[in-house]
Amino acid sequence: MIPELSPTLIRRRLTSLFPAELVEGIARERDAVQRHRKIDITMLVWSLILGFAVDGETRSIAAFQRAYQTATNQTVVRSSFYDRFTPELGDLLSDLLAHALEEVAVPHTIAPQLTQFRDTMIADATVFRLHRLLTAFPATHDDQSGAKLHLVYNVTKQTLAQFKLTDERTHESSQFRTGNWLRGRLFLFDLGFYGYRRFALIDENDGYFVSRLKTNANPLIVDERRKWRGRAISLTGSHLRDHLSKLKRKHIDVTGEFGFKRRQYGESRSAATREFRVVGVRNEDTDDYHLYVTNLPDEFTPEQVAALYSFRWKVELLFRELKSRYGLEKFETGDKAIAELLVVAALLTLLVSRALLAVFQELDPDVEYPEERWATTFRSVAQPVLGDLGVALGHPPPNLPELVRREARQPERSRLTLNKRVAHAFNTEMRP
């Protein structure tokens, strides 16, 4: 049975996520509001969040101003609007993002075995270009600027768990913290986070991990975790790479010994060894193995370990959504504070999109909503949603003829259009 959808469904979810009282209260605490308010701070916030979806070309302040004016049916002086893009507004958005991280979740049970983990998490980072003159974010190449967005994505809840923005040169591995929060969680890592000390710390904190095995890793095999019939080559006591090219079995499932250096304390840095599970799944097309290192128990077969690792594609899709749908690489500003503010706004856009996705999945759990298809649809309705919020917050519905006249006309009378320049030239020539 198809559930009945209320016209106010989307509005109710958004206003419950960021009530006007919450936005205005934080804005006062952060000193992001002015005594004589010409701009509605709540609608400004929503114009930034939904404006990322509305305007598909650039992420300029002028584009956000157009979104705000359309939704509020209000003309705002450009300088007044620009003046609102301050570090205090950035603080307000950061507080709202922290609030949303706790509030937004799209529960999804992928397989019964994964319910034993508190969450399945993916840590990764992506680089995006900024204005060439934004020297606060140095890139790896000269005469460029680039930022790196570090994310921990919660696959279980389909939402962000952590984020940090740095310059492009900061290594992603340095931004992943360890501690008690790892307990009971499964982490999927690419090779940028590869490190046996990190794996040991996750294991010591009762967490779990899966990572591709580095091509130069050659652990000593101390045990085979499954027996093979016939005259199978014994791997115990040898190094993994010693017999790898000779193996024809479908799977590898062994315990390997890995050596690493502990964290330095004072002048000393002790050596240590740990045993981790190494699994391999043979790729018949390339005649080699996809190898993984993990501490998952034996109840997870090699195929399941490989399938779990393939979940890392989720975060790649997330980065593609941020860049292609919400224009993460299209910031037209050389101001560091504004660039940081816009990154937070982009993440808020993503979380608001997920909050609405949760509503529709709760209404009809049997319907599948692929993330990128959802994002495309979300973009197509962002401006009407923003207008609906404007009405809900006390602004009049847009006067469409006045809106068209205001936005389409030549803004400066002193600037001549091509038609007038040509006409002006002829009029000048004809004068005696």
Q: What are 298-349's pLDDT values in tens digits?
A: 999 999 999 999 989 988 988 988 888 887 877 777 888 888 999 999 999 9
Distance CA 283, CA 246 (A): 14
Q: Are strands 159-167 and 220-224 parallel, antiparallel or unpaired?
A: unpaired
Strands in 168-264 per DSSP E: 186-189, 208-212, 220-224, 251-261
With H, G, I as helix, E, B as strand and everything else as coil, classify residue 424: helix
Strands in 99-250 per DSSP E: 120-129, 146-154, 159-167, 186-189, 208-212, 220-224
Q: Examine the pLDDT at 69 and tell me if it is beyond 60.
A: yes
Please give the average per-residue pLDDT across 264-276, as a whole number. 81
Cβ neighbours, 10 Å, residue 195: 16
Reading the block at residue 231, the tokens are 């005259």
From 162, 144, 145, select the one nearest 153 (Cα to Cα). 162
Predicted TM-score of the model (pTM): 0.82
From 110, 132, 130, select the one nearest 119 (Cα to Cα). 110
With H, G, I as helix, E, B as strand and everything else as coil, classify residue 326: coil
- Taken in order 231, 233, 235, 237, the sign of the CA dihedral is positive
Kind plus residue range of the DSSP H or E element containing 279? strand 271-283
pLDDT digits (tens, 9 = 90+) for 380-415: 899 899 999 999 999 988 776 766 666 666 666 666
Beta carbons of 224 and 232 less than 8 angstroms apart? no
